[in-house]
Amino acid sequence: MFNVTATILGLLVLLLGSSVWIGISLFMVGMAAFKLFTPSPPLTILSNILWNSTNGSTMMALPLFIFMGEILFRSQISANLFRGLSPWMNGLPGRLLHVNIAACALFAAVSGSSAATTATVGKITVPELLKRKYDPSLSLGSLAGAGTLGFLIPPSLMMLVYGIMSGVSIGKLFIAGVVPGIILAGAFSLYIALRCLLRPDLAPAGDLRYTWGDRIKALPLLLPVLLLIVLVLGSIYTGWATPSEAAAVGVLGALFFAWITRSMDGKAFREALLGSVKTTCMIMLIVAGASYLSVAVGYLGIPAKLTAFIGTLGLTKYQLIAILSVMYIILGCLLDGFSMIVMTLPLALPLIKAAGFDPLWFGIYLVIMIEIAQITPPVGFNLFVINSLSNESIFRIALYALPSFIIMLLVVALITVYPQLVLALPNTMIK
């Protein structure tokens, strides 16, 4: 088993290191595994995988959620978020730095994408915070961390992919992400507040003064996003719509609000469509390639043998999670989140089940580990987004995001010790 596994991993590392597209690399390694180590016809299996991995009704939700995020990204709705949140955040220790956290949390609840959340919120907040002399490390670092909430607060593209591949209820995954998402957002804000209490100069007061009247007047600016959250998540939780249908409702809602705010013209609509097609095709290619490689790995019996081997090590459940966490942190430096799920799930999920963890819990754990990958160089997508919004280098932004990295690891430890933080809400709401 060792020689076969080493060959597969070596080929994958070689292809990825040669800048071959991730999806194509997965297909090529899967093809080589079938040709070299099994008598099975690789092309026949490939045709079945291409159909089976992409034709499920659940996969319809993926492009729709992406399209909804693109609409919000290119309309006035995202800019209104900053204007609506500013009066409410200005009185807290850290002042407008909390807008990064609150805006990312709200936008995450309608976009499902970390990069889209970071880019949308960052385009509004970064120029404003730096212009008002807020500390760059807190301004950029808090955005890097909070932008990852796009994967944890439902609806989430990563949860969709995990649910499709693991067979776990997507509705339950969405609900399971609510409490950890609130905890993580609260932890980010608490860190900002503590830092600014110790050093008030990090968040200068400036000339802004808001009354309660200003706060009340700002609420209508938040209504489109709040109503979209109610439409999308409410339709799922009440059983009125499946995740795919809820995504369609979200697209219609986003188009309606973009229309009434008169912030989307024909050009912006075409750009939203084109961006959605590009992102969806990239994801579909990776999912199909990873499914093909997963079948090849299954034919070779690697998951079963690896599970049996780790079982002989006598690891406790917490030692297993510690080992997997180190593995995912390393992979996160090299791969995107979709690849991390589809490449590791066939190996990791059997181990998790054997250790007694709930696959629903593991989905949330894995999403948080993918969030960590978003802010770890050299392949941290949030770092690239913030680099395009500022003059800072990738590695300096990663240093700014280090507190967020530590906070996320602490949240992972918290939900590992207290798994009911993840499981209680979905098990109560959906039987």
**Amino acid in position 375:** I
DSSP state of 113: -
Residues 75/68, Cβ–Cβ less than 8 Å: no
> Would you give the distance in Å from CA 395 to the centre of its chain?
21
Q: What is the pTM of this model?
A: 0.75
> How do the domains of the chain map onto residue ranges?
2-429
* DSSP secondary structure of 137-160: HHHHHHHHHHHTHHHHSSS-HHHH
Q: For every one of its 431 residues, what pLDDT tens digit does the chain have, with 9 covering 90 and above?
A: 667 777 777 887 787 667 777 778 878 888 888 888 877 777 777 877 777 766 665 567 768 877 877 787 777 777 777 778 878 887 788 888 898 898 888 878 776 777 777 877 887 788 878 888 888 899 999 999 998 888 888 878 788 889 888 888 888 898 899 999 999 999 999 999 999 999 888 887 766 677 778 888 888 888 888 888 788 778 877 778 776 787 788 889 888 988 887 878 888 889 888 888 887 787 677 767 767 877 787 777 766 666 666 667 778 889 999 988 988 888 777 667 777 787 788 778 888 888 889 999 999 999 999 999 888 876 677 887 788 778 788 888 989 999 999 999 999 999 999 999 999 998 887 65
Phi, psi of 116 (to 5 degrees): -65, -40
**Amino acid in position 350:** P
The tokens for 3 are: 């020689």
User: How far is it, in rounded angstroms, from Cα 170 to Cα 198?
Assistant: 42
